[in-house]
Amino acid sequence: MFSEELEKYSWSETTERILSKTDADVLRALSKDHCDLDDFMAMVSPAASKYLERMAQLSQRYTLERFGKTISMFIPLYLTNSCMNGCVYCGFHSENPMKRTILTYDEMVNEFKAIKKLAPFENILMVTGENPAKAGVPYLAKSLDLAKEYFSSLKLEVMPLSTEEYRELTEHGLTGVICFQETYNKNRYNIYHPRGMKSKFDWRVNAFDRMGEAGVHTIGMGVLIGLEDWRTDCTMMALHLRYLQKHYWKCKYSVNFPRMRRAENGGFEPNFVMSDRELAQLTFAMRIFDHDVDISYSTRELPSFRDHMCTLGVTTMSAGSKTEPGGYYSYPQTLEQFHVSDERPACEVDAAIRAAGREPVYKDWDLVLQ
């Protein structure tokens, strides 16, 4: 399990290694056809900031070689904001006195129909809070069964499950799972996750092993930028990616770099703020480190930045996103998990991607492949 591998790495020593990287280390990394973890540390280090243009060119080259001029499109659907966790940065945390909604199956179908009117989406990401009693595996299985009638690719962003539960959901049409580790800093993890199942660091970080064991086709990873130093956190994620690729080589992988937005409850403020330039640096570094990994940007990012980055390394984007249950069919509105920055309708995002010389791809998977 990856938790055992992670124990071999010291957070503070890794941070020191990153900060000690020199221009020579960066140039050596950029000259290599295949980079290792030490090269990744060089590319996310402060020393690499002066080589951003060269990194952008390499990132664009590798992206074109592996993905062509395409951007895969997806849309998230929040099934519920009911959650038993106490994550201090999240508007859905259990002690926030807000209206809780769990979509009924009829409401869910109305959401599917409303989404299909926005754009020809075939890739849907269904999201829940962590409430296994009311929105557990039986609820998710039925949700997948219903979604199959409307979408070709079905992904979930839900509580970590057992290997057997992931395997069961693949039998209902599940093609991918996204799970955010939030931070790999085990010593500080429970500061942000004091209660609920999410407070169990090893259970969460080993969920990716369980996905691989279950044969989930696509595994999505991510850290929440703003909790801990992004350079160290993303280096640990790169380590995790390499581990998973070695042990579960039949799976496809994606990475996400969501920058924290202030939660709707008005409480937690980010400990670290990442600039646009630093997010670009991280994106380029990940693409140079791994030419094949899917890099996803959500509507957390501003339109101008997303439009620019879709030509330089990003390969998947969401559009027209709503982050509250029932947001597409206009059910009574509940609290958003976070407020999106790119509020453009899906058709405008599509037009912007085309104007940048890229082709939005709405379907790259078919249920017959299962």
Please name which of 122, 199, 218, 186 lies closest in space to residue 160, comparing C-alpha atoms: 199
Q: What is the pLDDT of residue 297?
A: 96
- pLDDT-based confidence at 339, cuts 50/70/90? low
Least confident window among 63-72, 128-137, 333-342 = 333-342
Helix (H, G, I), strand (E, B) or coil at 34: coil
3-class SS of residue 334: coil
DSSP 8-class letter at 225:
B
DSSP 199: G
More confident residue, 329 or 228: 228
The 3-class secondary structure across 40-99, one letter per residue, is HHHHHCHHHHHHHHHHHHHHHHHHHHHHCCEEEEEEEEECECCCCCCCCCCCCCCCCCCC
Query: Taking 60 as the threshold, does the pLDDT of residue 305 lie above it?
Result: yes
- The SS3 of residue 117 is helix
- pLDDT tens for residues 214-231? 999 999 999 999 999 999
Residue 184 has pLDDT above 90, yes or no: yes
The span from the CA of 31 to the CA of 251, in Å, is 28
Q: Which two tokens stand for residue 295?
A: 């890099």
CATH of 2-362, one of 2.60.120.10, 3.40.605.10, 3.30.360.10, 3.20.20.70: 3.20.20.70
Separation of alpha carbons 291 and 64, rounded Å: 10
Average pLDDT over residues 253-272: 79
Query: What is the mean predicted confidence (pLDDT) over 30-35?
Result: 97
Q: What is the pLDDT of residues 314-325, one digit of tens each?
A: 999 999 998 888
In this structure, which long-range contacts are made by residues 361-366, counting pairs with CB atoms below 8 Å and at least 24 apart in sequence?
A: 361/70, 361/71, 361/72, 361/73, 362/73, 362/119, 362/120, 362/121, 362/122, 362/123, 363/120, 363/122, 363/123, 363/152, 363/153, 364/72, 364/123, 364/153, 365/122, 365/123, 365/152, 365/153, 365/175, 366/152
Cβ contact 3:200 at 8 Å: no
- Does residue 78 have a pLDDT over 80? yes
Calculate mean pLDDT across residues 154-175: 97
Q: Which residues pair with 70 in a beta bridge?
A: 359
Question: Across all residues in the chain, what is the average pLDDT?
Answer: 93
CA distances from 197 to 200, 202, 204 (A): 6, 11, 9
Q: Is the pLDDT of residue 263 over 80?
A: no
**Extended beta strands in 165-319, E state:** 174-182, 218-223, 252-256, 294-297, 316-318
Mean pLDDT along residues 164-185: 97
Using CA atoms, how far apart are residues 259 and 66, in angstroms rounded to an integer?
26
Joined together, the tokens standing for residue 266 give: 């008005």
How far is the C-alpha of 224 from the C-alpha of 152, rounded, in Å? 28
Pairing mode, strands 316-318 and 70-78: parallel
Range with lowest mean pLDDT among 39-43, 73-77, 337-341: 337-341
pLDDT reported for residue 265:
44
**Nearest partner of 173 among 149, 206, 157, 204, judged by Cα:** 149
This prediction's pTM: 0.94
Q: What is the helix (H) or strand (E) element at residue 237, kind and residue range?
A: helix 230-247
CB atoms within 10 A of CB 202: 14
Task: Note the pLDDT tens digit of each residue in 97-145.
Answer: 677 889 999 999 999 999 999 999 999 999 998 999 999 999 999 999 9
Is residue 281 within 8 Å of 23, Cβ to Cβ?
no
pLDDT one-digit tens code per residue, 243-252: 999 999 999 9
